[in-house]
């Protein structure tokens, strides 16, 4: 297996979704997407899905996709693919919050793997309109994403940007 090629294929593909997800977490706050509304006594999405987070996630994701396109000299491929990936990432993350609320879980309650895979699956499904990564690349991303996610959370905790280390 060519590890450097695998790393390159995996990260040049998923980076806009990673940046989108991190930017949403960094800038999220204020007005929730569900406007505080409830369905059957429970919040539709909860306070963890906001207009600000979604907006900044999208903007930073688009910028990342454009930069990847410029660096790899293929903007006409990476920019539209990036837009699909980040739209899917945001939708995947939101759908997962919807199901967490239906299961009665409070906002921020962790569900291992679902929390780290929701946006990867969302990104891959939307992105598949334009490009489908190899199975090897996708499996690699499913393995490394939770590891990267947990490491970033630990760093954010140490920098006092997050209340809990996970
Ligand atoms: N965020 C946001 N808007 C989004 C996605 C994320 O504002 N569309 C921000 C919120 O501040 C959220 C943080 O990013 O708290 C982390 O996102 P996530 O882990 O998905 O949300 P949780 O707070 O864990 O909520 P949930 O239980 O719904 O997953
Ligand atoms: Mg989530």
Ligand lying closest to the C-alpha of residue 109:
1
Query: How would you write the pLDDT of the chain (166 residues) with one tens digit per residue?
Result: 899 999 999 999 999 999 999 999 999 989 999 999 999 999 999 999 999 999 999 999 999 999 999 999 999 999 999 999 999 999 999 999 999 999 999 999 999 999 999 999 999 999 999 999 999 999 999 999 999 988 988 888 898 887 778 7
Residue 28 Cβ contacting ligand 1 at under 6 Å = yes
3-state DSSP percent of the chain in helix, strand and coil, to 5: 65, 5, 30
Q: Nearest C-alpha to atom 17 of ligand 1 is from which residue?
A: 25
This prediction has a pTM of 0.95
Residue 135 token pair = 């199975």
Whether 89 lines ligand 1, by a CB cut-off of 6 Å, is no
Q: Angle CA(153)–CA(85)–CA(126) in degrees, nearest 5?
A: 125
Both tokens of residue 57? 């996630």
101 lines ligand 1 (CB under 6 A): no
């Amino acid at each position: 297996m060519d590890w450097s090629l695998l790393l390159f294929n995996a990260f040049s593909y998923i980076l806009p979704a990673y940046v989108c997800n991190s930017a949403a977490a960094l800038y999220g706050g204020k007005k929730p997407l569900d406007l505080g509304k409830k369905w059957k006594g429970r919040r539709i999405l909860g306070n963890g899905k906001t207009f600000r987070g979604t907006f900044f996630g999208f903007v930073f994701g688009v910028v990342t996709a454009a930069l990847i396109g410029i660096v790899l000299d293929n903007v006409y491929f990476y920019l539209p693919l990036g837009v699909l990936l980040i739209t899917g990432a945001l939708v995947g993350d939101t759908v997962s919050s919807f199901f967490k609320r239906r299961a009665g879980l409070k906002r921020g309650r962790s569900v291992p793997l679902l929390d780290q895979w929701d946006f990867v699956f969302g990104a891959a499904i939307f992105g598949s309109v334009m490009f489908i990564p190899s199975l090897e690349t996708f499996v690699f991303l499913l393995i490394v994403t939770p590891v990267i996610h947990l490491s970033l959370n630990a760093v954010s905790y140490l920098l006092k940007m997050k209340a809990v280390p996970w």
